[in-house]
Amino acid sequence: MLKFTINLPPRTKKNSQRIVVVRNRPMIIPSKLYKDYEKECKKYIPKHDPIDYPINLKCVYYMATRRKVDLCNLLEATCDMLVHYNIITDDNSKIVYSHDGSKVLYDKNNPRVEIEIERVDDENI
């Protein structure tokens, strides 16, 4: 099992996306705020061999406010960040088999995401 905490206020990729034109085709890219968040996360990412087997990715998000937030969007951003830093080789369903135990909680003084990655040994995979 791999456990670590990213001691930053969690961010999603979907808020304030930007549209850019590349080779005369519009593309949607993440906001600058998300890209900055992704860069800041690097210091919290442990050194680990890339994971290419089925896992349960449990993410417990502690938000600084009680505003509604979409857990799916938070999970998408975390999965993409883990792929970006080569913790997991991909975030498809053959690797990220489940998100059991993931949730959003409130902690005004210490917003963060606690991540647990556990190998799934399921005969039905």
Domain range list for the chain: 2-119
pLDDT of residue 17: 67
Closest by alpha carbon to 116, among 105, 104, 100? 100
Q: In whole angstroms, what is the distance from residue 31 CA to residue 51 CA?
A: 27
- pLDDT tens-digit series, residues 26-82: 888 777 888 899 999 999 999 999 999 999 999 999 999 999 999 999 999 999 999
Looking at domain 2-119, its CATH architecture is 2-Layer Sandwich (3.30)
pLDDT of residue 90: 97
- Within 8 A by CB and 6+ apart from 71, the residues are 61, 102, 103, 104
pLDDT of residue 125: 65
Model-level pTM?
A: 0.88
Element (H, E) at 22: strand 18-22
